[in-house]
Amino acid sequence: MALGEVRLRDWFRVIRREIAAGLALGSILGAIGLMRILLWQGFFNTYGQHYLLVAMTVAFSLIGVVTFGTFAGSCCRSCSGGSDSIPPAPARPSWPRWST
């Protein structure tokens, strides 16, 4: 946005891409969480009789959190200007040179 490559009229395309990226990342993490719970249940019987409900809850929670977290994070970065809005560091003061 700061470079003028994205205009306000492109909001739908930007939102669609961010949600797609969030769904992809969330699905990967959700699958990892699901497999981890199923493996631990198989080896150690850790989660009890409702292990499948726990696994599905964790998987869908990860998908939702990552999807909307990615979207909200990108929205805030683009609205605030991202790293371009951070002012540059002040110049180092020139110290007096003492002649010896």
This prediction has a pTM of 0.68
Minimal CA–CA distance to 62: which of 16, 27, 35? 27
Domain membership flag for residue 19: yes
Locus of tokens 């493996």: 39
Q: Contact, 23 vs 48, CB < 8 A?
A: no
- Could you tell me what percent of the chain has a pLDDT over 90? 49
Q: What is the DSSP letter of 95?
A: P
Domain membership flag for residue 2: no
Burial of 75 (0-12, 13-18, 19+ CB in 10 A): middle
The average pLDDT across 22-37 equals 96
User: How many C-beta neighbours within 10 Å does residue 66 have?
Assistant: 20
What pLDDT is recorded for position 14? 87
d(CA 66, CA 53): 20
Domain membership flag for residue 96: no
Domain range holding 71? Answer: 8-81
For the chain, how many structural domains are there in total?
1
Domain membership flag for residue 98: no
